[in-house]
Amino acid sequence: MSMHGVPNGIVNPPRSFTAEDEKTAYAEKGSFGMAPGTLVLALVFLAAFAVYYFTNWKLLSVVWQVG
């Protein structure tokens, strides 16, 4: 039965995520989950930020002659 103006997810909700679905999701995507590239990209940005942060402190200590 189609109701005009009501989203399809309310009238016909999706089925729940089962244990079998979880097994197949990890089999297809790998052991790192859904998006391992996201983790790698986040770690690259974290490393770049750390290098940038400590380089700035080193340059400031030279300019301000601290230590």
pLDDT digits 0-9 by tens, 17-60: 888 877 776 665 555 566 678 888 999 999 999 999 999 999 99
The domain tally of the chain equals: 1
Q: How far apart are CA 67 and CA 60, in angstroms?
A: 11
The whole-number pLDDT of residue 43 equals 93
The whole-number pLDDT of residue 38 equals 84
Query: Domain for residue 45, yes or no?
Result: yes
CA angle 20–27–39, rounded 5-degree value? 120
> Whose CA is closest to 2, among 13, 15, 12?
12
> Whose CA is closest to 50, among 38, 42, 39, 60?
42
If pLDDT is split at 50, 70 and 90, which confidence band does 9 have? confident
End-to-end CA distance of the chain: 77
Higher pLDDT: 12 or 62? It is: 62
Query: Domain for residue 24, yes or no?
Result: yes
User: Which domain does 41 fall in, by range?
Assistant: 8-63
Higher pLDDT: 62 or 7? It is: 62
